[in-house]
């Protein structure tokens, strides 16, 4: 029996098969909001941001206690984001910069050092920007919606 063709076939398949990539960390899904997914990574980032900006002790107990409230906020933000996209509402860079400057003042850091201050506290500036953008856009959406029904009197 000729084993040569079988050996060649096995060798070719072995070398032509892509090598397995290093294991990627699996992100656990903690919520699905319509078509948007909230991952454990998203939740952890938002908890880090809350701890960093609220001066809460970073302990396993506080994280566990914060998780349900922060998850609820994330879900609400995803719902807001969906409505914001539907209404085609945008936030200008000036509006965002103004809000970030105010946050820097509240944290008692110069605006140009906000990124460093946030990251030093274990959070990411991108998470803060996402949250701030959503809040500004949501205020615009509410104003737009209520604007025509709003009647200010004496």
pTM comes to: 0.76
Give residue 149's pLDDT.
Answer: 67
Give residue 17's pLDDT.
Answer: 41
Give residue 146's pLDDT.
Answer: 83
User: CA triplet 17, 18, 23: central angle to 5 degrees?
Assistant: 130
CB–CB of 13/22 below 8 Å? Answer: no
Cβ neighbours around 104 below 10 Å, total: 18
The torsion region of residue 79 among left (phi > 0), alpha (psi -120 to 50) and beta comes to: alpha
Per-residue pLDDT of the chain (154 residues; tens, 9 = 90+): 554 444 433 433 333 444 444 555 668 999 999 999 999 999 999 999 999 988 789 999 999 999 999 999 999 999 999 999 999 999 999 999 999 999 999 999 999 999 999 999 889 999 999 999 999 999 999 998 887 666 667 7
Give residue 84's pLDDT.
Answer: 96
In order of 12, 18, 103, the CA distances from 118 in angstroms are: 52, 41, 11
Give residue 147's pLDDT.
Answer: 74
Give residue 74's pLDDT.
Answer: 96
Query: Could you give the CA distance from residue 153 to residue 56 in angstroms, rounded to a whole number?
Result: 43
Q: For residue 31, what are the β-bridge partners?
A: 38
The two three-digit tokens of residue 122, written as one number: 């274990």
Give residue 6's pLDDT.
Answer: 42
């Amino acid at each position: 029996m000729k084993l040569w063709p079988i050996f060649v076939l096995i060798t070719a398949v072995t070398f032509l098969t892509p090598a397995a990539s290093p294991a990627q960390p699996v992100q656990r899904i903690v919520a699905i909001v319509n078509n948007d997914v909230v991952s454990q990574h998203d939740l952890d980032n938002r908890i880090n941001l809350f701890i960093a900006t609220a001066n809460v002790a970073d302990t396993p107990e506080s994280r566990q206690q914060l998780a349900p409230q922060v998850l609820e906020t994330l879900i609400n933000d995803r719902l807001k984001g969906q409505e914001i996209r539907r209404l085609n509402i945008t936030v200008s860079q000036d509006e965002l910069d103004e809000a970030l400057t105010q946050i820097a003042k509240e944290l008692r850091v110069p605006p140009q050092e906000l990124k460093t201050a946030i990251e030093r506290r274990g959070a990411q500036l991108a998470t803060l920007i996402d949250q701030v953008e959503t809040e500004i856009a949501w205020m615009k959406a509410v104003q737009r919606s209520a604007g025509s029904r709003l009647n200010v009197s004496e």
